[in-house]
Structure 1
Amino acid sequence: MKMTIHKTVLACALMASVAMPATAETIRWARAGDALTLDPHAQNEGPTSALAHQIMEPLVMRDMTGAMVPALATEWGPSPDNPNVWVFKLREGVSFHDGAEFDSGDVVFSLKRAMTPDSDYKELLASVVDVRATGPATVEIETNGPNPIMPNNLTNLFIMDEGWANANNAVKVQDYEGGEDTFAAKNANGTGPYKLVSREPDVKTVLTINDQYWGTGQFPMEVTEIVYTPIQNAATRVAALLSGEVDFIQDVPVQDLARVASADGLDVRTAPQNRVIFFGMNMGDADLANDNVEGKNPLADVRVRRAMSMAINRDAIKQVVMRGQSQPAGMISPPFVNGWDAEMDASSRTDIAGAKALMEEAGYGDGFSIQLDCPNDRYINDEAICQAAVGMLAQIGVTVNLDAKPKAQHFPLINTLATDFYMLGWGVPTYDSEYIFNFLVHTKGEKYGSWNGTRYSNPELDAKIEALASQTDLEARNASIAEIWAVVQEEQLYIPIHHQVLNWGMKSNIGTVVAPDDAAKFKYFTIN
């Protein structure tokens, strides 16, 4: 079996074996779901960011190993005159795909755009009080206190052409949850290594090499055309790879790993992902919309939430649903992240008798029914995990009605607080717990909590979360992070399930490592 396992994100590039080449220098790329939009600030979602990385660029980015490297900024550091200011020196001689020159005005415009209410990235810039150009190739980002990890927050914040945005009525971020369609949702003008040729959402997207790219000569750039086709059905996706219709798929189903790995001319490459899968629960509303309990909310009782977590057999999900390709989780943080705690992550246990006792103690000994909202085209075996949870929760009297749907319909339920019980997966591009807290724990509001579907609100905890952005004493900051995690765990805000393992399937002549963020950045790929 030709299956290569990368045990760390810093694994060396694989030696490619001789095989049938991808057609010319074209990569025919498939995965389960499409990007939700091309608007770079409308949806903070993995496949959406992965496509954007081909076309657009941030100031700093993660390479294929997860290391932070320069992109549109060449240097950055705190201002010697003001500890609240980060200074970024911009790459000169860069142009957008339409020929417009890139400069500091585009950075100021883009970051201020990403700070607006409709932006799905506003939490990353919540501590920012001003972004200003101090020259054509210099930008200052001022925060409300010294922010030690500001560069980490910028790796997925893509820079737009201000002139293009003005000319195409794209100054405002697309209201994705509201169903708005804009020019920027289907068109793009970036500085990245590939230019958009055509876009048919959920059908096909074609990109071609940017022959004016600033990085030509610095990166392999051996892929000259990308044809991206979302294929939701797992069997169809695998069949397309086996038959040669596509060259590269990012989500080989766990049940097909051996078949793909043993096929002539194909490889499977695996690595742990910077992502955890979990269930969220509406604990804040007085009554639920999708249960059979009148006049009160069973999920508001921490004993019920804890009982539901204790009913989930994560080891069974790993062995049966994931075929060993997952790591049971006890906290909603991947191990890559600052603040992750091994003891907390090992804390989840299955205890049906204990769970039943907690349900009885909470007054729900006879159980209740509730709807579980689940995506069916986003995470590895997402719907199958939800189906397994249905049976497990039934053991403690919780009757679950499963409603699985494509991610394009699923995610707005969370953002608009239209679900009481839901699956979500979370990656952490900053590699720091503050990112998790800002999006998933802080009270939902104008700057924070956009993905907090739990309705949990704790003003004291909010203050601690907000203070992290200006704590420069890293020992004290890490102590604060540990205190916040202790509350998250004690309150059982979420039900962690597992850490994902990535399985990329591809023609053997394609040279790449598996990126921990699951974002294939094709400028790094080689074709042998």
Structure 2
Amino acid sequence: MRTCRRVIDRAIPALSLIAALSVSGCGSTPEANQTVGNTLTVVTASPPQTLDPAKTAQNNSWLENLAYEPLIVRKSDGTLTPGLAESWSYEGTGNKTFVLKLRPGVTFSDGSPLSAQNVVDHLKYVVSSAGQMAPLLAGCTFTATDPATVTITSPAPNPDFPVMLTQDFIIGGVIGSGGLADPGALGTTTVGAGPYMLDPQQTVAGDHYTYVPNPHYYNAPAVRWRKVVIRVITTPQAVLNALKTGQADVAVGDPSTVAAAKQAGLTVASSLFLWNGVVLADRGGTLAKPLGDVRVRQALNFATDRAAIAKALFGGVGEPAHQVTVPGGYGYDDSLAAAYPYQLDKAKALLAEAGYGGGFTLAVVTPEYQQLHLVAQALAQQWKQIGVDLRITDYANANQYAADAFGGKFPAFMTAFGQIPIWMEGPSLFLPSAAFNPLKYADPALQSRYDEAASSTGDPKTAADRGVVAYLTTQAWFVPVVMTGLPYYARNTVGGIATSPKEPLLSLYEIVPAA
């Protein structure tokens, strides 16, 4: 997800991070006199390794959302509305059986029809592809109950199927049968039932991706642009310049340029949902023995002056973070709002107790987005005061960062991760199968808390979710540093730019030509 979104970024999913458009036909038909714009140009910060919805990272979701309409659409106010599915519901008790009723008359861009079996084949392909989101469907069975009904059966309680199958997590965007028959081609082509499809002739991989209307789209009046271009621009200042000079209409921004974007008269939309910081991945002490001791991990947290970093690098858009969530987010615990006050003496005492009074060297890898490389540099200066020598590998190329971070080559890595439901967060962030747990560290006590949260409902679930976050906090699996929102910038050439606490990711589905 960038480790945000994606997921998400997710490589930051949020992954991470992570990471649709106003076709939200996905349920709605616009007025007959609504304007259709010529070209919508949006900017993303990292090039995709693939366009395959089953394999891509969450932070590249925009490139999939244009072509692959999801089964369920999440609007900017957080409400869930029909996409390829007209309706959905759980059957029985325990949140184990989820049923989708498909929209009739839907055709993919290759001319093939949408069917329940097609959706089943798509979901099976997602699992077999072992991409970032595949763990969310691990162990599930998929059945075409009838030509328009899909039943998903989970081996364990799953309260989050409706959210999982929205555009935010990509895998709800169904691949047509033609694409599934030739999966190797999905890396560079699209076979979806969304409002647009990739035009390879107007696309240069890694630089820009051009989408044109899908002639088979079931709700043609909802297509509001004759062309959508997604440009890849990797440096924050260059992104801002592209909007200021009219080369782009919408972009994923960066905390370092928010003030300048506002000064330039751009619309800035952002809702708090990211925590930026360090994943202490080597909890078993395989690559960096000191990290195997909880006292060392806690010491790093106590040695972090979050307020200073928030002020210096995220002035006006960031707040100190102590938990892997945000206020009002899933599992947030008010009692842990300041779990690790800046206390160098406490940090030094913990290191001495663990046998590292003389300090140690720790390698960390970081990308150059969302200020993460600058946060790493600030931590290097702060942790030096307790004898920890932070050796930073800084990648401008997000794909290089993702390969090393998620490939288990470093004991620690920087991330910006978007808060998501705890049940979904486990397979993404902290369970042994999670991408953000590349060394596959398992903790039975954490697993027990996670299982309790997954099987609970109502107030008991809320309490159990807090128990998971509290355990991660006290065991110091991470060093959360700053909470931010993911800023989005837009020119006055467009409307529909909105986010909310329930949907902090900007949806391309709702972007329309300015009135």
Q: TM-score, structure 1 length as denominator?
A: 0.83
Which of 41, 49, 53 pairs up with 1:28?
41
Distance 1:456 1:105 in 2: 37
Q: Which amino acid aligns with 1:120?
A: Q
Return closer, same or farther for 1:92/1:467 CA change in 2, 3 Å cut-off.
Answer: farther
- Pair 1:459 & 2:444 matched: yes
Residues 226-245 of structure 1: pairs in structure 2 closer than 5 A? 226-245=228-247
**Paired position in structure 2 for 1:210:** 214
Q: Within 2, Cα distance between the matches of 1:24 and 1:438?
A: 40
User: Hey, what does 1:158 align to over in structure 2?
Assistant: 172
Unaligned residue ranges in structure 1 (runs of 5+) = 1-21, 171-181, 292-296
Match of residue 476, structure 1, among 460, 467, 476? 460
Alignment CA distance shift 1:286-1:382 (3 Å): closer
Alignment of 1:91 with 2:82, yes or no, is: no
Is the partner of 1:25 in helix, strand or coil? strand
> Displacement, 1:90?
0.4
- For 1:345 and 1:67, the matched residues in 2 are separated by 28
2:192 is aligned with 1:190: yes
From the superposition, tell whether residues 192 and 348 of structure 1 become closer, same or farther in structure 2 (CA, over 3 Å).
farther
* Deviation of 1:484 (Å): 2.5
Deviation at 1:498, TM superposition (A): 1.9
Q: Provide, for residues 182-232 of structure 1, a one-character-per-residue CA deviation record: whole Å limited to 9, x for no partner.
A: 421111111112211134332111111234423344x4x423311111111
Question: CA separation in 2, counterparts of 1:441 and 1:145?
Answer: 18
Aligned residue in 2 for 1:392: 382
1:492 Cα offset (Å): 0.7
- For 2:124, the equivalent position in structure 1 comes to 112
Distance 1:83 1:312 in 2: 40
Determine helix, strand or coil for the equivalent of 1:282. coil
Measured at CA, do residues 81 and 32 of structure 1 come closer, stay the same or move farther in structure 2, by a change above 3 Å?
A: closer
* Pick aligned residue for 2:145 from 130, 134, 144: 134
Q: 2:502 aligned with 1:521, yes or no? A: no
Letter in 2 for 1:423: M
Aligned pair count reads 472
Question: In 1, are the aligned partners of 2:322 and 2:481 still within 8 Å (CA)?
Answer: yes
Provide the residue aligned with 2:261 in structure 1.
260
Counterpart residue number, 1:39: 52
TM superposition shift of 1:61: 2.6
**Cα distance change, pair 108–344 in 1 and its aligned pair in 2 (3 A):** same
**Are residues 1:414 and 2:414 paired?**
no
Query: Contact conserved, 1:280 with 1:454, CA < 8 A, in 2?
Result: no
Cα gap change, 1:414 to 1:28, in 2 (>3 Å): same
Asked if the contact 1:439/1:449 (under 8 Å) is kept, the reply is yes
CA distance in 2, matches of 1:84, 1:501: 33
Aligned to 1:383: 373
CA contact (8 A) 2:42 2:249 kept: yes
- The aligned counterpart of 1:16 is none
Say if 1:259 and 1:104 are closer, same or farther in 2 by CA, change over 3 A: same
**Are residues 103 and 425 of structure 1, via their aligned partners in 2, closer, same or farther at CA, if it must alter by over 3 Å?**
same
Other structure's SS at 2:224 match? coil
Letter in 2 for 1:340: Y
Q: Of 478, 489, 493, which residue of structure 1 is paired with 2:473?
A: 489
The code of the aligned residue for 1:376 comes to: E
Gaps of at least 5 residues in structure 2 are 1-34
Distance 1:273 1:333, change over 3 A: same
Cα offsets for 1:352-387 (capped at 9, x unmatched): 22212222222212211121100114xx21211111
Which position in structure 1 is the counterpart of 2:250?
Answer: 248
Tell which deviates more after alignment, 139-148 or 306-315.
139-148
C-alpha distance in structure 1 between counterparts of 2:270 and 2:181, whole Å: 43
Q: Distance in 2 between matches of 1:255 and 1:152?
A: 31
Specify the alignment match of 1:58 in structure 2: 70
Query: Which residues in structure 2 correspond to 1:189-338 (within 5 Å)?
Result: 189-198=191-200, 199-217=203-221, 219=222, 221-251=223-253, 253-263=254-264, 266-288=265-287, 297-338=289-330
Q: Residues 280 and 422 of structure 1 are in contact (CA less than 8 Å); yes or no, is this contact kept in structure 2? A: yes
Judging changes above 3 Å, is the alpha-carbon distance between structure 1 residues 345 and 210 closer, same or farther for their aligned structure 2 residues? farther
Helix, strand or coil at the partner of 1:74: strand
Provide, for residues 441-497 of structure 1, a one-character-per-residue CA deviation record: whole Å limited to 9, x for no partner.
Answer: 22x2xxx3232136431134324424544x254333333323323321221111111
TM superposition shift of 1:102:
0.9
What is the rounded CA distance, in whole Å, between the counterparts of 1:343 and 1:36 in structure 2?
Answer: 41
User: Normalised by the size of structure 2, how large is the TM-score?
Assistant: 0.85
Cα root mean square deviation, aligned = 2.5
Change (3 A) 1:488 1:117: farther
**8 Å contact kept, 2:176–2:193:** no
Q: CA deviation at 1:409?
A: 1.2
- 2:172 maps to a residue whose letter is F
Q: Please tell me the residue identity of whatever aligns with 1:506.
A: A
Distance apart, 1:416 and its partner CA: 2.3
Return the alpha-carbon distance in structure 2 between the equivalents of residues 82 and 408 of structure 1. Answer: 39
Aligned to 2:12: none
- Partner amino acid for 1:526? V
State the match for 2:13 in structure 1: none
